[in-house]
Copies of this chain bind each other. A is one copy, B any other.
Amino acid sequence: RSISNRNKDLLRAIFVEFLGTLFYVFITTDLNYLLAPGFVSLMVAFGKISGGHFNPAITLAVSISSGFSKTTIFYPIAQIIGGIAGAGLTKAVHFSFEDHSHYRTVLDRSVEPEYGIICEGLITFILVITYLMSIIDKRNKDSSMSPIAIGFVVAANHFATFRVTGGSMNPARSFGPVVCMSNTQINHIIWKYHYVYWVGPTAGSIIAAVVYRLI
């Protein structure tokens, strides 16, 4: 295809990553049991346009595995803006209800940040391995079930660690709600440990991309 068409494809893909992350954060931040159905739908709808990352940790691992490109930079920017927009819409739609604190992913009081990083790293590792094996791997001839695999593993990982770190696996999903719900008393604590949701998923993503080469 011509350069002009390739640029249009890139713009479409970046727009879809923005829209998908917006939808994902809007649908699932209030009610986390909507993670599986919401994510599966978005993967089916948008997967063929952008790959359906909706998560900087996945974009990083795909870049390590398949090569760095413009998407390595632009996808995460679109995802982060989408996450902020989605959290803002969630807040706007539910503005008449009192408590928004459960929108954010936070560490349990008993959990040290190092443990939070290990926990987020571990579930991001599981998610990214599943993504790479289902969607990127060439040995997978029938990828029709991949959206189910990604949506289900996101939900399963989330609930398995919900009590510990809130089960994020996704810096864009964690960042948006913190930005939009920043006017609270416990604000400084929220920001203080927010790095956990960037360091953990980044580490898990890199390790998954390395382990994937062994498989």
Contact = CB atoms under 8 A, between A and B. Distances in A.
Interface of A: 12, 15-16, 19, 23, 26-28, 30-31, 33-34, 36-38, 40-42, 44-46, 48-49, 89, 92-97, 108, 110-111, 115, 118-119, 122, 126, 129-130, 133-134, 139-150, 152-153, 155-157, 159-161, 163-164, 214-215
Contacts of A115: 93, 95
Per DSSP, are chain A's interface residues mostly helix, strand or loop, or mixed? helix
11 contacts: A15-B215, A16-B215, A26-B126, A27-B160, A34-B155, A36-B152, A38-B152, A44-B130, A45-B149, A95-B115, A145-B148
A153 B38 contact: yes
B45 A156 contact: no
A95 B93 CA distance: 34
Nearest to A22: B126
Contacts of A31: 159-160
A97 B38 CA distance: 30
Contacts of A133: 44-46, 49
Contacts of A157: 27
Given A34-B159, A96-B110, A214 B15 contact: yes
A129 B49 CA distance: 13
Nearest to A112: B96
